[in-house]
Structure 1
Amino acid sequence: MNTKSDTHVPQGKLQAWLYAARLRTLPLTLSCIGMGSFLAAFYDTYQPVVFWLAALTTLFLQVLSNLANDYGDSKHGVDSESREGPARAVQAGVITPAEMKRAMYVFAFLSLASGLLLLYMSLGTGWEAFLFFFVLGLASIGAAIAYTATKKPYGYAGLGDLSVLVFFGLVGVGGTYYLHAQDLSGGIWLPALSVGLLSTAVLNVNNVRDIESDRASGKKSVPVRIGRQAAVYYHIFLLVTAACAAIAFTLLFYESPWQWLFLLSLPMIFINGRAVATRSRAAELDPYLKQMALTTLLFVITFGVGLLLA
């Protein structure tokens, strides 16, 4: 078990804010938006303004989620001194709870503002679709905050995995594609499933790392509920199923050998799976959280470039 010396405490206000934003998770933001945009380009419906505004909106949402997670974990006692993973800014006392709440309001407003601009640029005055995506955007903001920062956070009930699968996969990829194309044809749900499963794997690395401290604090993450060994099998399932969904899409919509370019990312996926299976200490497993996020982005880039070259 790690000692307190394994926990990095941010020093100074600027470092604390950067730490709370958890920049290493931000590649996931580009992953779902990138996949939806690559698919739109494959089907000749790509709009640059949609890509940039969707990426900005999702970036704001991800930072909001990370800040809310920092605030919520500290509020509910998950980030205690016994926690094996990296310390949070509020728990470390560098950022006050009131300051964190104000930052959450700021990023909620930025998410809403950029999201409204995105919908207007994509959908114009098509009010039915506009209203649907507006409600979906509010749900995304609510999900980002409710994950850990409410009185009954769903993240502590083990529902975070489902939320990530839906919002980073099906909604993130499918919604981005729709904003480009104004339809949902073309078998896009298979690549969307791949991104959602790989994003869920990022969360699972985090939860396997924190399994002991989460169990002690009453946080019922999936690894806490099923045990570490079963969580390893679950992790492998996420990775293998993500690869199979990408292979299925390629076989169903095959046009060129370039579409197999995403296979170059599989060694990195294998490395992550092996690390989760063999590394038990939090300090040893922690780097693979960032590695899995970057691997997801690498998968999306190689998959997307393969589509563009097809």
Structure 2
Amino acid sequence: MIGKVLSYLQAWTVIVRAWSMPMTIASISLGAAYAYYLGYRINIVFFILALIGALLLHMSVNVINDYYDTLYGVDAPDVLKYRPHAIFMGIVNTRSMLNIGLILLITGSLIGIYLSIVVSPLILILGITGIFLVYEYTGPPLKLKYRALGELSVFLAWGPLMTLGSIVASTGLINYAVAIVSVPVALLVVATLYANNVRDIERDRGRGAYTLAIRLGSNAKWFYVTLLASAYATQSVLILLRLLPIYTLITIALIPLTIKMIRNATNGVFEHLDETTSLYSLAYTILLVIGLLIRF
């Protein structure tokens, strides 16, 4: 019995790409933590609902992304050399993959609609914008990923939109400063996606997926380095502008890992770097949140 449960859970971790969920946890948590830093009262129930809704929407974009990548021929059986893929592992068929993605999308949307009714209509506006961006990442007609615009859509969705939605859902109040404060975390989320695309350059190039990594060519690895460096540079500016407290500098504890990741990137070693960057973004945000919660 336990074996069947574990097998079932393992299958779902592959279907929704569970390794990438820390990105959403990071963005939603940052919004609530910044609200606390500003002295706002947090509604824990609404915060949890916002987190669940965001995670469901994130899962939906992962599932729909795999569906369309398979449909367009960007993903093929050889993808299993690089990462688990639910369709080519025989866990689900293509049609079921789409249905799962749509169910996740609808469920996450319903939570957003509920919060917009009981908290603020702004949540609905942010939610609709976010759903549009995550669906059009690979969905027709825009197919942003294939037009080198995937990173921009992810930056907006996991940065300003998600953190602003989090602070509104958690407090019922609007503070647009959180959209600026979200930039360092959003850059790391983009770095996660971008590392995945750099790893897949050779596969994507011959299959009509013109990602940003492909368009940058030999300079692709340096953009990843720029994203990591920009996260810390932006954080420093936010501290100087007093939008972040000095205590958030505890993020420098990750510098040794940052250097290791940069070394891997400059050497062209992007295998599993997307997974590492995802966990790195969560660790960075945890330290950022701790810095926001410290009060003397």
Cα distance in structure 2, aligned partners of 1:254 and 1:134: 27
Cα distance in structure 2, aligned partners of 1:202 and 1:152: 22
The one-letter code of the counterpart of 1:236 is V
Say if 1:309 and 1:82 are closer, same or farther in 2 by CA, change over 3 A. Answer: same
Cross-structure match for 2:198: 208
Say if 1:257 and 1:98 are closer, same or farther in 2 by CA, change over 3 A. Answer: closer
Secondary structure at 1:218 match in 2:
coil
Of 156-165 and 266-275, more deviation after overlay is shown by 266-275
1:255 shift after superposition: 8.6
The one-letter code of the counterpart of 1:25 is S
Cross-structure match for 1:247: 236
Say if 1:305 and 1:77 are closer, same or farther in 2 by CA, change over 3 A. Answer: same
1:107 shift after superposition: 0.6
Say if 1:160 and 1:203 are closer, same or farther in 2 by CA, change over 3 A. Answer: same
Cross-structure match for 1:113: 110
The one-letter code of the counterpart of 1:170 is P
The one-letter code of the counterpart of 2:173 is Q
Cα distance in structure 2, aligned partners of 1:114 and 1:31: 19
- 1:219 and 2:209 correspond: yes
1:178 shift after superposition: 3.2
Per the normalisation by structure 2, the TM-score is 0.89
Cross-structure match for 1:37: 32
Deviations 1:172-205 (A, max 9, x none): 11232233252225x4343211111111000111
Secondary structure at 1:88 match in 2:
coil
Of 75-84 and 29-38, more deviation after overlay is shown by 75-84
Runs of 4+ in 1 over 6 A off after TM superposition: none
Cα distance in structure 2, aligned partners of 1:220 and 1:210: 11
Cα distance in structure 2, aligned partners of 1:188 and 1:174: 6
The one-letter code of the counterpart of 1:154 is L
Task: Assess if the C-alpha contact under 8 Å between 1:190 and 1:246 holds in 2.
Answer: no
Decide which of 223, 247, 252 is 1:258's aligned counterpart: 247
Task: Assess if the C-alpha contact under 8 Å between 1:154 and 1:160 holds in 2.
Answer: yes
1:264 shift after superposition: 1.5
**Equivalent residues in 2 for 1:253-292 (5 A)?**
253=242, 258-280=247-269, 285-292=270-277
Say if 1:184 and 1:137 are closer, same or farther in 2 by CA, change over 3 A. Answer: same
Q: Percent identity?
A: 26
Task: Assess if the C-alpha contact under 8 Å between 2:26 and 2:185 holds in 1.
Answer: yes
Per the normalisation by structure 1, the TM-score is 0.85
1:245 shift after superposition: 1.3
Cross-structure match for 2:4: none
1:208 shift after superposition: 0.7
- 1:122 and 2:119 correspond: yes
- 1:23 and 2:12 correspond: no
- 1:67 and 2:56 correspond: no
1:50 shift after superposition: 3.0
Task: Assess if the C-alpha contact under 8 Å between 1:74 and 1:91 holds in 2.
Answer: no
Cross-structure match for 1:236: 225
1:287 shift after superposition: 2.2
Cα distance in structure 1, aligned partners of 2:57 and 2:245: 36
Count of aligned pairs between the two proteins: 286
Cross-structure match for 1:303: 288
**Equivalent residues in 2 for 1:76-225 (5 A)?**
76-83=72-79, 85-123=82-120, 130=121, 132-150=122-140, 152-179=142-169, 180=171, 182-184=173-175, 187-225=177-215
